[in-house]
Amino acid sequence: MFKSKAGTEFLEKMSWVADMLMFSILWFVFSIPIVTIGAATSATYRAVQVRMKEGNGIVWSVFWKTFKNSLPQATVSWLIYFMITLVFGLNQMLLVNDLAASWLNHFSQIFLLVVIILITPVLVMVLAYISRFEDNLKTVWKNAFILSIAHFKVTLYVLVVTVISVSVVYLIPALVIIVPAFSLSKICPRLETLFNNYTDEDLLEHLNSKLTL
């Protein structure tokens, strides 16, 4: 009996790893155009969420459906973030090469860095929100900002996991086919707790009123 139970647990773990690997590969393939990274992230989050909830490997159908549905909003959200990071990167290149070493450029770098740090966990929440609910983009960002402020510990956790994941992929690019889904599997339970508590509009409005007091 013990061996049977141990064997079952091992198979379940291997099935989990295989699904996470498949989700990550799908994320990588659908992120190749770069502009679709947002939609690919939303789709991967939803696939991971369903996998964690249902306990079985529903890979392609959930991913593809979410990718199609989230494409417009997730793409706009991602491109906003991408443009900010692109400006930061280009400005950094100018500073490193002493092509624009004015005080204004240094100040703008600090400002952009702060913006990127603040908006990174919010973007993750936005992409997760888009994968789970139907709202206009303005409402999505508004609710994500509210939740990020009201639950700072969760926001900080999302930021840390995201930074670690990006750093790992940057140092070892080959891990891009492994890291995305595994990092989202760490973030998913925290965000799902928030979503389950604040999916009702009245609760969000109440939360918003508390923050404005």
- Find all residues with CB under 8 Å of 119, minimum gap 6, and list them: 81, 84
Tell whether the model's pLDDT for residue 201 goes beyond 90.
Answer: no
Structure confidence at residue 2 (pLDDT) = 46
- Write the DSSP symbol of residue 174: G
CA distance 167 to 173: 10
pLDDT tens for 87-98 read 888 887 777 676
Range scoring the smallest mean pLDDT among 19-23, 141-145, 205-209: 205-209
**Which amino acid does the sequence have at 4?**
S
- Token look-up 């969000």 returns 204
pLDDT tens for 160-173 read 999 999 999 999 99
Chain-centroid distance of CA 130 in Å reads 11
Structure confidence at residue 5 (pLDDT) = 63
Tell whether the model's pLDDT for residue 111 goes beyond 70.
Answer: yes
Higher-scoring residue by pLDDT: 143, 202:
143
Percent of the chain with pLDDT over 70: 83
Q: 3-class SS at 125?
A: helix
Which pLDDT band holds residue 56 (cuts at 50, 70, 90)? low
CA distance 74 to 77: 5
Which pLDDT band holds residue 134 (cuts at 50, 70, 90)? confident
Q: How far does the chain reach from its first CA to its final CA, in angstroms?
A: 59
Q: What is the dihedral of CA 52, 137, 69, 177, to 10 degrees?
A: -50
Instruction: Break the chain down into helix, strand, coil percent, rounded to 5.
Output: 85, 0, 15
Percent of the chain with pLDDT over 90: 56
Tell whether the model's pLDDT for residue 1 goes beyond 50.
Answer: no
Note whether 20 and 29 are within 8 A (CB): no
